[in-house]
Amino acid sequence: MRKIGIIGLGHVGATVAYTLVSKGLVDELVLIDANDKKVVAEQYDLLDAIARLDTSTTIKVQDYATLKDADLIITAFGNIGIIQEDGDRFGELKFNAKAVEQVAPKIKSSGFDGILINIGNPCDVVTAYLQQLTELPQKHVFGTGTFLDTARMQRAVGMKLGLDPKNIGGYVYGEHGESQFVAWSTVTVNGRPINEMQAGYQIDFETLETDARRGGWFIFSGKGFTNYAIATCVVKLTRAVLSNAHFAAPVSTYSPEFKTYVGQPAVVGANGIESLVFLKLSELEHGQLKSSAGFIKQKIEGLSRN
């Protein structure tokens, strides 16, 4: 039986829940939120949908004890309104750090020993804090990280070249935030290195990188939140865990080199992070990764001191 818990039923958590149910990817779903009225409303809305679906899902709410035998927990708590002025994901740090301090002990006391995927921002710091306080193995706790940012890079490059974004390969590394960077040495277009195509297409790498990095803020400023793309990312990672897909994706996971969580390619399967993927980065790119990891580590250490 495929059993998943979602903690946090805002725009993203609710979209993830609906996607899992509508696609028949979960047999039992546990929904938890600080707002009792909201979580029960989501439960009933999903139950009404199930009456018209070809699959069925048992939906339970507000019970941490039922997470004991869950395969996977998705943490999607946050307060998007805090970052309304500038889109800085660190605006949510204080709020989400308190959420981790409330949620992690309950996850731990439930006896849960599965895989935890974090969406909450700032993603790398919150993911690391969740791992520290739940005391789950590092490979069992990871965040969506730069998986979403990589999709935004693919969209930006695809739009520039008039191609389907799925034909764009490569990765965004580092923080899910302002210090992230596109590792252009890894980016391919229809299998060809993008550097070979720069002259013919007059590609402005700096503009494309800014588009990828600020893509979330562009969406947020238009509708007040983002939900579809990030929900799609976490559902894809969830499927990779449930099916033991050994799927390579850039996620926020622990780096032995930098001693911190940071966005980097990894292989995702039933054990969470099965292995890291080490690509040859340019000297500049490795320096950018080191700098971004250092920034994240500093923020994590700041939490530990408080």
Determine contact, residues 174/183, Cβ cutoff 8 Å: no
Query: Quick one: which H or E segment has residue 141?
Result: strand 141-143
Cis peptide bond upstream of 122, omega within 30: yes
Determine contact, residues 260/297, Cβ cutoff 8 Å: yes
What are the φ and ψ backbone dihedral angles of 29, each rounded to 5 degrees?
-125, 130
Instruction: Give start and end residues of each alpha helix (H) in 3-146.
Output: 11-22, 36-50, 93-110, 123-134
Helix axes 93-110 and 283-305, enclosed angle (nearest 10):
70
φ/ψ region of 270 (left if φ > 0, alpha if ψ in -120 to 50, else beta) reads: alpha
Residues paired with residue 266 on neighbouring β-strands, in sequence order: 249, 276
Nearest residue to 216 via CA among 96, 124, 99, 84:
84
* 3-class secondary structure, 1: coil
Confirm whether 176 is a catalytic residue: yes
Nearest residue to 87 via CA among 211, 219, 207:
219
Catalytic residue (choose from 11, 140, 176, 246): 176
Q: Which amino acid is at 243?
A: S
Catalytic (active-site) positions: 176
